[in-house]
Amino acid sequence: MFFLIGIDAFLEIQKWHEATALFGECAFIVASRPGHSLADVANALPESLRPKSAATDPFRRYPANGDLLLPGVTVHLLDGVQYAISATAIRDAIRAGRSLGKMADPVVAEYIKKQNLYKP
C-alpha cells in the first residue's frame, strides 16, 4: 500500500498522530518540488526513524528525488512536479468562493463543488 502526499505536507509528518506507526503500514510516495533536498525529506521523519544529522547533512545539496530507504521507512520521491499549486491553495480558493482556474482539472473542480468539499 502506498500513501501519496505532497512534500509540503510530508515536511510536517512528524507532527501527525502515530506517524511512526504509519511508516510501518505503507510506503510513501512524496511529490517533490524544486527547492527541497533529500536531507529535508530525511529530517522530516519522526525522530525515532530519522537518521542522525551527520548522515543527512551531505544530502542538503541533492534535490529530493529517488528513493529514501531506511529501517522502517520507504519513501519514493516523485520529482518533476513543476506546478506551484498546493492543496492548501486549492482549499483556500474554494473557501473564498474563487474559481480553481488552472489549479485543478475542470472535472476535479466540478467534483469538489458537487461534493461540497473543503467548505467550512
Q: What is the pLDDT of residues 45-75, one digit of tens each?
A: 999 999 998 888 888 888 888 898 999 999 9
What is the C-alpha separation between 15 and 32, in angstroms, rounded? 19
Q: What pLDDT does 13 receive?
A: 96
Residues of the chain scoring pLDDT < 70 = 81-84, 120
Q: What pLDDT does 82 receive?
A: 63
- pTM tops 0.75, yes or no: no
Q: What pLDDT does 105 receive?
A: 87
Residue type, 50: R
Q: Please, are residues 32 and 6 in contact by the beta-carbon 8 Å criterion?
A: no
Nearest alpha-carbon partner for 29 in 85, 82, 83, 67? 67
Phi and psi angles of residue 73, each rounded to the nearest 5 degrees, phi first: -140, 130
Q: What pLDDT does 85 receive?
A: 74
Rounded to a whole number of angstroms, the distance between the first and last alpha carbons of the chain is 31
What is the C-alpha separation between 52 and 107, in angstroms, rounded? 44
